[in-house]
Structures are given as structure tokens and as C-alpha cells.
Amino acid sequence: MSAFSKSLLLFVLNWLDAQLTIVWVRAGVATEGNGLMAHLLNAGNAPFLLTKLSIGALAAYTLYRCAHLPLARRGMQLVLGLYLALMLVHAATGASAFGWHAPDALASLITYLPNNLLALFS
């Protein structure tokens, strides 16, 4: 996968995270864990979304422009791994919001998934 594709994927995952966060918070299913972003979300969807997408775009662009550096390549892998794990959290939140309660085995798998994902990149 090219550096551009990874950067684009990072931005898309950031956008999806922002959209799902707005949906879950406005539905009363979840809260925003980041205090600054929670403050922006309380101010409205637009300030939250603009800030979230600006930070995500800057990160994706910086990692793309510095893709020739090993630190940036590893950083990209780490951030993508974290966002993919976050998408699982959003999926679990959605499942819970719609009344589906995961069995213990699935909950256990999700609990250890970030460690397993990080092990893939080391």
C-alpha cells in the first residue's frame, strides 16, 4: 500500500470516527473521552467536526510528506492500527446501542485486540 493510500485511509478513518462520535454522543449512548473535544462537541457539531478533521488532515499530510523517514512509516502503522481498533469500539458501541450484547468470548477478544494488533507491527 502506498504512502498516499495510507494517508487517505487515515483521514477517512478519522472522518468516520468523528461522524460516529457525533451519532453516539447525540443519541446518549456514549460520551467523548477527550475533554477538549467534548467541549467542542458541546459547542456544536460544526466546531467539533472542523477541529477533528483539521487535526486528522494535518496528521495524514505530515505522515505522507515524511513517509521516507522510518519513524513516520512506523507512526503511520501505529496510528492506523489504533484507528482500526477504535472502529471495533464504535462497532461494539453500535451493537450495544441496538440491544445486542456480545458474548464474553467476543468481549475478551476485543479487550486483547489492541495488544495483538500492535504485536503485528513490531
What is residue 102's predicted lDDT score, i.e. its pLDDT?
Answer: 56
Structural domain of 49: 3-121
Model confidence at 101, pLDDT cuts 50, 70, 90, reads low
Model-level pTM? 0.77
Contact 72, 63 (CB under 8 A): yes
Single-letter residue type at 37: M
> What are the cell numbers at 66?
515524511
Looking at every residue in the chain, the average pLDDT score rounds to 87
33-52: per-residue pLDDT in tens?
A: 889 999 999 999 999 999 99
How many separate domains does the chain show? 1
62-97: per-residue pLDDT in tens?
A: 999 999 999 999 999 999 999 998 898 888 888 777
Of 14, 19, 2, the closest CA to residue 58 belongs to 14
Count how many residues are written for the chain: 122
The two counts, helices (H) then strands (E), for the chain are: 5, 0
